[in-house]
A and B are shown apart, each in its own frame.
Chain A
Amino acid sequence: MSGLTSTLSGARAPLALAILACIGVVLALSGVAFGSSWIPLEQVASVIMGAGEKTQKLIVLQLRLPRVVIAALAGGGMAVAGFLLQKITRNALASPGVLGVIDGAALGVVIFLAALSNESNALVTSIAYQPLAAMVGAVLGIALVFMLSGQQSASAVRLLLFGIAIAAVFKALVMVMMLIGPIYRTSQAARWIAGAVNEINWSEIHITLLMLLPLLVLAVLAARKMPPAELDEVSARSIGLNLPVFRVLIFALAAGLTAVSVAFVGGVGFIGLMAPHLARLVAGRNIYAGLVGSFLLGAIMLIGADLIVRVLFSPVEVPAGTVTAVIGAPYFLFLLMSRQRHDG
């Protein structure tokens, strides 16, 4: 069995990635075609190419395409962050959710909504600044984790433990602020925390793309150093990789990717955990295949989750993050239990 998979693995990764890319494109097109009115796929394609009539153009280009594109970017970004974290901690249970990044962003959003609302629950500033608050919160969250773990931040386990502790504190603060806050603030915050891809416009996509691309390039550049980072610390250092320093860089990179990904769509859970894990299953051990596979799977998952909520709950807008949580939480439990069997 293992001999068979290793002989196939040479041809397997490119094939698997090509299939994933095809699934992604089909899902994305269906994501644009589906909605309050069905637009046939060939018309979707022609509108994207620049043809089509005015209302169709409006629906496709301004309403549906942006949510599909942001879903692909955010899902992909979070999945790559998760992939990096799972590799560098040598732990398949690591994910962006445990580093205090997502909860830091949530706290940023809640504080933003609380601090800048007036007596009649209306925001005194534009809601467009909410993603900025999320990003500031995310960066402060990870910074706090690193500050508190201090000298110990070079140890993967210590850093994860501090991340989980900080995330728990942030979660509690978010809960308190939502309970004592007015209704508007609470529902708006709950929406962000669950993670939703509707009401996204192109300028927000441009911002996301502009910040995500350099981080993804850095991830590809860092991939060369990933194989030695899979060894224990002494062995990695003895072949010339300063693992403690590299680890901190990867944690920072993963935090940045997560912050940019969640800034506009909110804290979509479990994609950063599931996508990299599945990517390893379908694309094998190669680092580059894993990176690309994670991005594709993350994109597919969030586009798919958004499609599911639109089909099931239309015309009510349910956050796509609810679907990833409903699927992701049992998956997490399954991982935990199968590892337990394995370890025992």
Chain B
Amino acid sequence: MTDRTALAIDTLTLGYGNTTILDTLSLTIPRGKITVLAGPNGCGKSTLLRAIRRLHKPSAGRILLETTDISKLGERMLARQIGLLAQSPSAPEDMTVEELVRLGRYPHQSMLQPWSPDDTRALETAMAGTSVAHLRERHLGSLSGGQLQRVWIAMVLAQETEVVCLDEPVNHLDMSHQLDCLDLVRQLNSQFGRTIVLVLHDLNLAARYADQLVFLRDGAVAASGRPEELMTEGLIARVFDVDAMIITDPAYGRPLCIPLRTR
């Protein structure tokens, strides 16, 4: 455990009933970096993300935040340290943008701690940082998919957590909104210094945005490292059962995967 580590996942085992989803998995999430979890369907990447936010209780092992076992933290305390944007979040259509972003401040408040200037500052910073301030009076039902995703990210940003987890945030977005959304996530990392843990399906987007790329397969880490080191034809074949060609993309110099055929 070094001070470069935000989260240390230590021999984590997790399952439902008799099915094991994660099997003695160990992984460190570096502080202030973007870690992308990728892998085939059912590899356990979403489950791992939810376990990090303590939405699933592991049957063995633990997750350390700095030096604290997250299972020891109270609900509000944990919500001030780790945020999670769900895969398909939902809120009432007649809720306004500002009402939703305000909810990000919920863990910072209590009966004895009402809305404070700190909360206002965090709210305004989050709305400005995600460029949704001009939408504040709008109802969520009147927004486009891309706008709505920005508003949800604004809520997670207002939460001011050290770690931000996002579960397939670009799933239902078109190409321009995918880039828009992931650029915003990168901005959370670079401008606001958040540690990001991201589940992405698209391997090329993963390679483009990840500082650390983690391949999961069958509930365990198959490999992890910088995308340039990790994206090899052999590893893609082993993890995804796909024959692929890996080239370096001419624009950004990141590895680009061209899938050829399933094995």
A interface list, Cβ under 8 A from B: 2-3, 6, 90, 221, 224, 227-228, 230-232, 234-235, 237-242, 285
Contact = CB atoms under 8 A, between A and B. Distances in A.
B25 interface: no
A278 B137 CA distance: 23
17 contacts: A2-B142, A227-B99, A227-B106, A228-B106, A230-B95, A231-B90, A231-B103, A232-B90, A234-B87, A235-B86, A238-B55, A238-B79, A238-B83, A239-B103, A240-B75, A240-B79, A285-B92
Contact of A285 (B90, B95, B106, B137): B95
A112 to B, nearest CB: 41
A232 B107 contact: no
Place the interface of chain B in its size category.
20 to 34
Contacts, number: 72
Contacts of A6: 96, 137, 139
B236 interface: no
B104 interface: yes
| Most chain B CB inside 10 Å of its own CB: which residue of A228, A230, A231, A232 | A231
A89 to B, nearest CB: 12
Contacts of A224: 111
Looking at chain A's contact residues, the main secondary structure is helix
Interface of B: 50, 53, 55, 75-76, 78-80, 82-92, 94-96, 99, 103-104, 106-107, 111, 137, 139, 142, 155-156, 159
Q: Closest 7 A-B residue pairs measured CB to CB?
A: A240-B79, A240-B107, A234-B86, A238-B84, A240-B76, A232-B90, A235-B89
Nearest to B92: A230
Contacts of B78: 240
B142 A227 contact: no
A241 B75 contact: yes
A242 B75 contact: yes
B256 to A, nearest CB: 33
Contacts of A239: 79, 83, 103-104, 106-107, 155, 159
